[in-house]
Amino acid sequence: MTVFTHDDRVSTVRVHEGGIINLRIDSLRSPDGLEVVREVVEHNGGVVIAAQPAADRVLLIKQYRYSIDEELIELPAGRIEKGEDPFPAAGRELREETGFEAENWRELSRMFSAPGFCDEILYLYAANGLSFLGKNLDIDEHTDVMDLKLSEAWELVVQGKVRDAKTIAGLALLMLPDNSVQ
């Protein structure tokens, strides 16, 4: 079995450079001459916020997602702008999508969204000490905020009503003992 790494790259062709993603095609060659192609989506990364108005509650949002033509139930989340640090991005996205700001923050996890073809990393934060200041949505966004008991949110996962992977991961981490923000 041959494992290919970036050291085996012999060429890169940039197919698309966009505002959200880039797409490149890498040609790789192993020392024994085997050649393969890898298509890679490049993404600045994103943030996911598990905001808790109380220790046993969590905020979820309902929003339409164009790429799948469906409304999803998710934790608040958004992309990191080029050159932006994840933590300020998390605060920005929480305010934009829910109208809340948080006093206490803690990083729960860093995870890859789809490492088979994409380099996007998601930074998952827990947040509490919430104050409502009002939403600041992007012009093309609409969200309905849901304030649920953590057990009710998890039941939505079990029932298949939450199908977003980052939300399932975030809720699972919140369900673990001793995972509240200090």
Position 136 pLDDT exceeds 80? no
**pLDDT value at position 140?**
77
pTM of the model: 0.92
- For residues 168 and 73, give the distance between their C-alpha atoms in angstroms, rounded to a whole number: 10
Residue that is written with structure tokens 């977003």 in the block: 164
**pLDDT value at position 179?**
66
Mean pLDDT, the chain, rounded, equals 94
Could you state, in order of their start, the residue ranges of all structural domains in the chain? 6-43, 46-175
SS3 92: helix
Burial of 18 (0-12, 13-18, 19+ CB in 10 A): exposed
**pLDDT value at position 137?**
72
Mean pLDDT, range 64-79, rounded to an integer: 96
**pLDDT value at position 17?**
97
Position 182 pLDDT exceeds 50? no
CATH of domain 46-175: 3.90.79.10
**pLDDT band, residue 74 (cuts 50/70/90):** very high
- For residues 177 and 144, give the distance between their C-alpha atoms in angstroms, rounded to a whole number: 29
